[in-house]
Structure 1
Amino acid sequence: MQLWLAFTSPFARKVRIAAHELGLAGEIELVETDPWTDPRLRAVNPLAKVPTLILEDGEVLYESSAICDHLDERAGGGRLFPRSGRERRRALRLQGLSDGAATAAGRLFAAERRAALQVDPMIPRFERAIAASLDALEAEPLSREAFTIAEVGVACLLGYLDFRWPERAWRAGRPALADWWTAMAERPSLVETAHRLPTVDPRP
């Protein structure tokens, strides 16, 4: 399998964490790309977005949730994505919340970089979405043992916030979430997949 990615993407990191948790990391070749400029990526993914996974037979999967679901199924199923019931709904709900907040964070980062030229009126909306999502996650009983797609998604969100804005105090007023992240940050799958700056042409 080939995983096309940018090492700054929280969604590409999500797939890499899933692969490590499922014991599949060794089966995946990492292909670093700049999704803004690389025509090869659009040739396999019409959206030209990362992550994009190319399977051994040439089938292409994109969007992190679909890729993680496939990896879970490949590893036997039911590990990252509970099979049914309340636990499955919880995992999907928190994955959706974390992914939405991570999307807002990515857009906020890009908007702030452009702000020197033109103030983006969406910045306050992105900031409120992230803050409200963190407040909701503070009330969630996140597991330190059963690492489902819910915990993977939350970890990717918090890791991305620390990567892009290490000076911002998202932990303030959220002690449970901060304690959970402190405990989880040393998990091998998270250490192995830590964000890093690109080695290809960087873009926001």
Structure 2
Amino acid sequence: MQLHWSPKSPYVRKVMIAAHELGVVEQLELVRSVAAMLKPNPGLMEVNPLSKIPVLVLDDGSTLFDSVVICEYLDARAGGRLFPAEGPERWQALRWHALGDGLLDTLILWRNEREREAPLPTLIAAFELKLHASLALLEAETPELEPTPFGIGHLALVCALGYIDYRFASQAWRTHVPRLAAWFGAMQQRPSVRATEPVDG
């Protein structure tokens, strides 16, 4: 299997954490691919018309995207443990996943806006408000996150919080959410998370 990949993409990181957790990293051939919002990549568009990563090219030539679809595919191949099969545990895991992905979407839009020549202050303020509201919710839910087995929801939240550190270090987000900060600190010690830290270059 080929994975179109970049060391800086938080969505690629989701797939790589899943691959490490599931023990399938060695089955992936990593293909370095550039995906920029303002410069669609013709080569990448051959496997994903949206010119976005990650994309998983299967051995039969078919393709899967986006990150959650790829994670679920790898999970199914490996016997399934990142996605609870049913019941309240499944819906909570998918809810946490949606929050993590939604927060990532917000952060990426925020980063794009702040790099414009004349960022819109009201839009920047809206992004910041959503960040702090999300962190407050997660702080309140950390007592539930902590004992729940590591799954797709945890994985998405780890990637979102890691992206804050990577692209928004000035936010100093840990100050007002100590329990969430402690939980994330523990998550950062997982081998899968340590192996997938974003890097420039």
TM-score interval w.r.t. the shorter chain? over 0.9
Q: Could you tell me which residue of structure 2 aligns to residue 91 of structure 1?
A: 93
CA contact (8 A) 1:17 1:190 kept: yes
CA deviation after TM superposition for structure 1 residue 161, in Å: 0.6
1-structure distance, mates of 2:123, 2:170 = 22
Q: Could you tell me which residue of structure 2 aligns to residue 155 of structure 1?
A: 158
In the TM superposition, 1:1-204 aligns within 5 A as: 1-36=1-36, 37=39, 38-77=41-80, 79-114=81-116, 117-120=117-120, 121-140=122-141, 141-143=144-146, 146-198=149-201
2-structure distance, mates of 1:59, 1:73 = 17
CA deviation after TM superposition for structure 1 residue 6, in Å: 2.1
CA contact (8 A) 1:98 1:133 kept: no
CA deviation after TM superposition for structure 1 residue 143, in Å: 3.0
Secondary structure at the aligned position of 1:150 is classed as helix
Secondary structure at the aligned position of 1:167 is classed as helix
- The one-character-per-residue Cα deviations of 1:73-126 (angstroms, maximum 9, x if unpaired) are 01012x100000000000000000010001111111111111xx1123422222
CA deviation after TM superposition for structure 1 residue 153, in Å: 0.7
Where does the alignment leave 5 or more consecutive residues of structure 2 unmatched?
A: none
Q: Across the two proteins, how many residue pairs are aligned to each other?
A: 195
Partner letter of residue 125 of structure 2? P
Secondary structure at the aligned position of 2:172 is classed as coil
Secondary structure at the aligned position of 2:173 is classed as coil
The normalised TM-score by structure 2 is 0.92
Partner letter of residue 15 of structure 1? V
2-structure distance, mates of 1:84, 1:144 = 18
Identity of aligned residues (%): 44
Where does the alignment leave 5 or more consecutive residues of structure 1 unmatched?
A: 199-204
Moved more, 159-168 or 135-144: 135-144
Secondary structure at the aligned position of 1:122 is classed as helix
Structure with more of its chain in helix, by fraction = 2
The root-mean-square deviation of aligned C-alpha atoms, in Å, is 1.3
CA deviation after TM superposition for structure 1 residue 21, in Å: 0.3
